[in-house]
Homo-oligomer: A and B are copies of this chain.
């Protein structure tokens, strides 16, 4: 019954803390101290073995890729290819959000094959199974839900999204809001429906201590879901969203008191100028717990390009304290992502994360830009590729151009500004 947090509280430095320290240029003691304070989580299930990654204050902003089947598209091999594509593109975490096919088998396979942390949303599987059997989604029981969570914990899942902030109270707040989009979180909607139609409290809230016991036993990090996140910029930061966040802040304290690692999930669709404030509010309400955001998306009108919209919001979010970005792919709002969507999603999020890292002063981020400037000034194309977020694409584009064998590019040829100014300087 030990977690990275309980070890930290005892002042014990773990292998995972040492790995994080090494990768982020800190001492193990510094990492241990931050885990202890809850500002950092290191999601690694006690049944798993991979190089640990930390999420939180002072660390590089991490990127998660959602993969998984859907009722109308479920092929195991495709999902394993998505996993590989995401990891190769640089994802720090992958969530299996499967809702179609043999869900337990898919999860086991993904956990077995993944070299990075794995997250899930257990309620998806509970409701998927009910609906597949033609049953009403409101019929699942507290036992169904907790059995599923226990299965995930035993299988080795490193973090789980649980919508504990969807309660009778927050749902009533929602019902009094004039929201356009209601609930756009799948997990959130299942629990809200369950509460409303059964007239009972959310079991994840009512039996939160039982949930903590499971997490404590397997060191599963809680990712407290934002079931009431806005699904349109006009719904952002309304009473419903914020009352849920307040609840999540209270639950953060309870989780930490038991030794369970916890992070918080955030919006969603948010107007650009309000993203920074949202990040800071989460840190206040949730005692500086790591913030895991989806997007945010500062406009609703760009389906097909929501990875770009998400990168705009994500860069600002990360610059203002978000620690973990859930990718958004070009398929968002339209269809299930394919392999190319996964790759685009990860790379685009990594750009946003890196821009955030520059602003946060994360070690090495500014320096990488300095090195790129040096490589550009000296026309060192190989170095430029190496420093790029996607060396393969950069090399491919350059090599396909007419001037690829010369030290100029096809944009300017000999009319290169750098060369012109160098010529002027040398003439003196």
Q: Enumerate chain A interface residues (CB-CB to B < 8 A).
A: 70-73, 99-100, 124, 127-128, 131, 137, 180-186, 188-190, 192-193, 196-197, 231-235, 271-273, 298-305, 308-309, 311-312, 315-316, 319, 330-336, 347-348, 351-352, 354-355, 358-359, 366, 368-370, 372-374, 376-377, 384, 387-390, 393-394, 397-398, 400-403, 409-418, 420-425, 427-428
Give the dominant DSSP class at A's interface.
helix
Is the CB–CB distance between B369 and A234 below 8 Å?
A: yes
Give the chain B neighbours of A428 by CB distance below 8 A. 196
Is the CB–CB distance between A273 and B413 below 8 Å?
A: no
Is the CB–CB distance between A409 and B184 below 8 Å?
A: no
Give the chain B neighbours of A424 by CB distance below 8 A. 189, 192-193, 196-197
Is the CB–CB distance between A331 and B397 below 8 Å?
A: yes
**Also in contact, A300 and B410, with CB within 8 A (given A192-B424, A335-B401, A347-B305):** no
A51 CB → nearest B CB, Å? 23
Give the chain B neighbours of A298 by CB distance below 8 A. 315, 355, 358
Q: Which listed residue (B182, B197, B305, B387) contacts A301, Cβ 8 A?
A: B387
Is the CB–CB distance between A413 and B72 below 8 Å?
A: yes
Q: Which listed residue (B368, B411, B421) contacts A336, Cβ 8 A?
A: B411
Residue in chain B with minimal CB distance to A182: B421
Give the chain B neighbours of A351 by CB distance below 8 A. 299, 302, 305, 308-309, 312
A72 and B409 CA atoms in complex are apart in Å by: 10
A70 and B384 CA atoms in complex are apart in Å by: 22
A192 CB → nearest B CB, Å? 6
For this complex, 13 residue pairs linking A to B, each with C-beta atoms less than 8 Å apart, are A70-B411, A70-B413, A72-B402, A72-B403, A124-B415, A127-B415, A192-B420, A193-B421, A196-B427, A234-B369, A271-B358, A331-B411, A335-B410
**Also in contact, A300 and B372, with CB within 8 A (given A271-B359, A352-B312, A413-B71):** yes
Is the CB–CB distance between B72 and A410 below 8 Å?
A: yes
**Also in contact, A334 and B397, with CB within 8 A (given A299-B351, A301-B389, A305-B390):** yes
